[in-house]
Amino acid sequence: MDAQPRGSLDPWCKDGRECKPEWDAEKTGHQHPLEFMAELLQQWPTGAPTVDLEDEERHLRFIQIVAGYPEIGRGMYPLDWPTHPMSVKALQLSLFLDSLAVPEELIQNPSIKAHSVRSAILALDARKYEYGKKGELDENQLRSLHRECLTLLFKVIRVHVNRESNIDEIDDENREKSASHYEHLFLNNLHSSQKKRREGWWFDSNSEKKFKLDLAKSDEQVNREQHTHQIKLGSIQNWIQEWSTENSKNYPFEENTRHNLLIGASVMLECLFAKLRQHIITEYRPGCILIDGGGRIEFLTKNSDVESEMKRVIEDSFLISENRHPFQDIIVRTLREYGRGRINEPQFPSEEWNTDTNPPKPRKAAFKRFIGEKRAIEFFPPIKYNGVDLYQEMGKNQFGCSLCSREDDSQESISKSVKSVQFKIQDVCFLHALMFRIGEAQQRRDSSIRRKGKSIPEVVGNHSCVFLDLNALGSMFGTPVSKTRKIMEKILHFHHPSKVGVSTEHWQEIESIRENTIEMQKKVRQMLEENNSISQSILDEEDEKFKLYMRETQEQLSIFKARKSFRFNSKWWSSISQIVDTDSKHFGEIGAWVAAGDDLLLVRRGVIGEDDETLQQQLKELDNLLKIEFPNSAIKFSFCAGLTKRRSSNVEGQNWEKIPDMIQRARKKEKQAKNYWKTRADKSDRDDLISEYDSISGSIKRKKGWTLMSEWVPGNGPVYSIPSVREGVPTEEESMIYSSTFRGEEE
């Protein structure tokens, strides 16, 4: 009998099931997880080779890989560019580690349900560094931490590999070390095989027999309320539209300018997150990240001055620094190009430029003038720190920039728009120039990573596009754990004094501990059911023992939440990557143009006007993948999508509508699909689908800002639902696609 759990508790399964750890050698291209980890270490794109680094830096790279935050491009982590093949693989690796359960014999206080191997390693690390308060560890501390993390990793992977090869034994110690080749490979890439290193940092994991992890131990110094911080961007879509001037009627430039701006805007927001992630990971540790995605990042740190540190990162995000901006080279090149032939103009005082070269090289002061603190703040959408705006709102309106200045109906600008002026970066403000150049660069980068597809036919353009958004994400993430009773029970039961092998004298004692534990569990459950939180109760509690139990429970809940967020990210992006990098008709057929916040814009290239349903098919596939990835979630995963094809133009001298107009229609259709989706939920009395959990008040509120489609009846669902459910009337939780007909449809 095998009483050991194989997988960790699945935070997305409402019935408290275990994850199924699977290493997909074919998909990842690596036989063994450690082989891939070794490759990540070897291919680290910035800084010195891993083996050349100081002890702490090597250890951090190892922890980053476990966390799913290795560097995959210059200054970029998988979530900064999630459709990159290396990102997909790195997230798969971490997902695998997150699916592995920590064996009970390694834990001092068994029955901890919330942890996985990934979360346990991250917690050990973050705790030792006191969530960023401790800048560095002394050598002994670091060695023992490193040893603990490696031992846990190696042991669990061995057990997994043995199981896969049908060696169904938990005690791996005396077994043939089937994995040891890969352990060596990994250690060799982390520490090298030099004698001094080998003796100091390598070890035989068999020698660590008595090793026990203290995972239940709660750090009393951490006040989860006070030490949790959140950065959130507001109105992302409006902001992107405003900067890429989607709404402008009298747009002066030739039309492909606008997609560069659109892509650039979205990428620049992702880059801000790249910089924030860099800071959080290196300063506060990877294990402090609780939620990452959808335009926000939530993390735990004991550092005292987080607000001003965050401000500094944001304000300096474009400036050259050791922590590279993902497009640092493009920033430098664009500014040089911008200054060409303009030195001594009012914005270009010669002392800020090095004029020995042609074009002149900007000095630090020039960078500050164009993209320093003030400019950066003006540029970004509203940024909230712990729910409060970090900066006062500022309107963008750069003098002399034809994109920033408000549109006017003057004859001059209308005639300009007809002419379709060629775009020159010197005609706009520097941030618009940068946005354009970064948009171009991103398209180059994106097409360079595509692996699948045949050669590109000669006559292709942007054929169709889809705007999509997941449904009920707020309630899926926000619903308190007390709503899924089976999961709550598993989390609460982490003290289970065993009676096995206890002598009769101690029987009584054990029994009273057991009763006491059950009593505490009951109380905590009641609190969670009543208030959705135990934070306030912890502060008020005087019984030290009970207080400790509550803290431990709170930590379990927090781990659970972080795992939920991480697992969502890796599964969602893996699904998106699969539908984007598909065995397509030609190379780079589908591009992800906007992937900022929760929204996604996919654009298909093809022969314009051709009857082609690729995007619709890919949406169907996405719907399918989500159901496979999240089989037992409390609310089924679904999305709403607006799908449009390029249609003929009603403007004389122009064959096809402009791309931004096609995108705009898709956006509108997505919104309408969402209204229908919510209406269906409303008419089926599924308030849970249209509610949001407010973490501040602890209450559940009905969502605002959508229109009830009163003429709609549940019976005509299939009209707007995904084709896969056309056979019958779909349930309230199915995806919906609102697809435009090919030509001449009414709006």
* C-beta atoms surrounding 658 within 10 Å: 17
Q: Least distance in Å: CB of 674 to Zn ion?
A: 31
Question: Whose Cβ is closer to Zn ion: residue 429's or residue 640's?
Answer: 429
**Residue 699's beta-bridge partner residues?**
694
Instruction: Evaluate whether 466 touches 643 at the Cβ level (below 8 Å).
Output: yes
Q: Least distance in Å: CB of 253 to Zn ion?
A: 12
Q: Least distance in Å: CB of 435 to Zn ion?
A: 8
Q: Least distance in Å: CB of 408 to Zn ion?
A: 15
- Choose among 283, 565, 327, 563: nearest CA to 442: 327
Question: Whose Cβ is closer to Zn ion: residue 129's or residue 379's?
Answer: 379
Q: Least distance in Å: CB of 379 to Zn ion?
A: 9
Question: Whose Cβ is closer to Zn ion: residue 402's or residue 577's?
Answer: 402
Q: Least distance in Å: CB of 283 to Zn ion?
A: 33
- Choose among 602, 616, 623, 644: nearest CA to 266: 602
* C-beta atoms surrounding 648 within 10 Å: 14
Instruction: Evaluate whether 114 touches 491 at the Cβ level (below 8 Å).
Output: yes
Question: Whose Cβ is closer to Zn ion: residue 43's or residue 398's?
Answer: 398
Instruction: Evaluate whether 475 touches 733 at the Cβ level (below 8 Å).
Output: no
User: What length is written for the chain?
Assistant: 747
Give the contacts of 541 (CB within 8 A, at least 6 positions apart).
547, 550
* C-beta atoms surrounding 508 within 10 Å: 9
Query: What is the C-alpha to C-alpha distance for residues 491 and 352, in angstroms, rounded to an integer?
Result: 60
Question: Whose Cβ is closer to Zn ion: residue 178's or residue 405's?
Answer: 405
The number of CA neighbours under 13 Å toward the Cβ of 329 is 4
* C-beta atoms surrounding 380 within 10 Å: 18
Question: Whose Cβ is closer to Zn ion: residue 190's or residue 261's?
Answer: 261
* C-beta atoms surrounding 341 within 10 Å: 10
Q: Least distance in Å: CB of 552 to Zn ion?
A: 53
Question: Whose Cβ is closer to Zn ion: residue 403's or residue 736's?
Answer: 403
Query: What is the C-alpha to C-alpha distance for residues 116 and 139, in angstroms, rounded to an integer?
Result: 27
Name the site residues for Zn ion (rule: CB under 5 A).
398, 401, 403-404, 428-429, 432
Q: Least distance in Å: CB of 429 to Zn ion?
A: 3
Query: What is the C-alpha to C-alpha distance for residues 120 and 161, in angstroms, rounded to an integer?
Result: 20
* C-beta atoms surrounding 81 within 10 Å: 24
Q: Least distance in Å: CB of 350 to Zn ion?
A: 24
Q: Least distance in Å: CB of 392 to Zn ion?
A: 20
Question: Whose Cβ is closer to Zn ion: residue 192's or residue 248's?
Answer: 248
Question: What distances in angstroms separate CA 458 from CA 87, 260, 560, 586, 608, one per listed residue?
Answer: 31, 21, 51, 11, 12
Question: Whose Cβ is closer to Zn ion: residue 404's or residue 619's?
Answer: 404
Question: Whose Cβ is closer to Zn ion: residue 433's or residue 673's?
Answer: 433
| Exposed e or buried b per residue across 672-688, where buried means at least 16 C-beta atoms within 10 angstroms of its C-beta | bbbbbbbbbbbeeebeb
| Residue found under tokens 């560094």 | 129
Interstrand relation of 639-645 and 736-739 (parallel, antiparallel or unpaired): parallel
Question: Whose Cβ is closer to Zn ion: residue 67's or residue 403's?
Answer: 403
Q: Least distance in Å: CB of 266 to Zn ion?
A: 17
Q: In the numeric block, which tokens belong to residue 535?
A: 């934070």
Interstrand relation of 388-389 and 361-362 (parallel, antiparallel or unpaired): unpaired
Angle at 80 between CA 192 and CA 52, to 5 degrees: 15
SS (H, E, C) 617-670: HHHHHHHHHHHHHCCCCCCCCCEEEEEEECCECCCCCCCECCHHHHHHHHHHHH
Q: Least distance in Å: CB of 394 to Zn ion?
A: 13
Question: Whose Cβ is closer to Zn ion: residue 429's or residue 673's?
Answer: 429
